Amino acid sequence: MIAKPRDRPQRRPREDGIRTVTGSSFTPLVLEGKGPIVVEFMSYGCAHCRVIEPLLQQVAEIVKSGETIFRVNVAIEQELAASYEIEGTPTLLMFLDGKEVGRSEGPTPTSAGLLRAVTQPFES
Of 49, 60, 80, 114, the catalytic one is 49
Q: Is 93 a catalytic residue?
A: no
> Is 32 noted as a catalytic residue in this protein?
no
Task: List the catalytic residue out of 18, 38, 46, 80.
Answer: 46
What predicted TM-score, i.e. pTM, was given to this entire model?
0.83
* 22 three-state secondary structure: coil
Return the CATH superfamily for domain 19-122. Glutaredoxin (3.40.30.10)
pLDDT class of 11 with cuts at 50, 70, 90: very low
Left if phi > 0, otherwise alpha if psi is -120 to 50, otherwise beta: which for 35? left
Weakest-pLDDT range from 2-6, 29-33, 55-59, 115-119: 2-6
